[in-house]
Chain A
Amino acid sequence: MTTHTHWSPGPAAWQDDLSPLPASEWTLDRAAHLLAHAGFGGTAEDVQALADAGLERAVESLVHYERIPNPHMQPFVESGLWDPSLTSFPDSRPDATDRAEKDGASMGVDVKPAGNRPVQPVSDRFFYWLRATMLETRRLGYWWANRMLQTTHPVEQKMALLWHGHFATHENKVRDYRKMHQQIALFERGATGNLRDLTIEVAKNPAMLYFLDAQYNVKGAPNENFAREVMELFTMGVGNYTEKDVRECARAFTGWYFDDLAFKVDPDKHDTGTKTFLGRSGDFDGVEVLEIIFEQPVTAEYLAAKIYRFLVRDELSPALRTKLGTVLREADYEVKPLLTAILTSKDFYSAASYGGHIKGPVEHMVAMLKHLGVATMPGVPDFNQSTIAMGQNLLNPPSVAGWAGGKAWITPGLLITRGNVARDVLIPDMTGFRDWNFSAGTDDVLGQRLRDGYDIGAATAVNDPANMATFDRVALERDEKFNTRISGYIGWEQAARNLIPTPRDAARFDLTAMVLTSGATTTAEAVDYLTGRMLRVPAATAMREALIAFLTKELGTDSLERAKSYMEDALRMTAHLVMSTPEYQIV
Chain B
Amino acid sequence: MKYIVHYKRYGLLRYLSNHENMRMVERILRRTSVPFKMTEGFHERMKLSFGQALPTGVIDRAGIFLISTDQLLDDEFLRTANALSPAGFEMFEIEKMKDDFNIGQAIAGYTFKLIFLKEPSLQDGWKAEKFGKIWIVSFTNEFNSPSPRPNDFGQFLTLRDRVIFRGLR
- Physical interaction between A and B: no
Residues of B at under 8 Å CB distance from A?
Answer: none
Residues of A at under 8 Å CB distance from B?
Answer: none
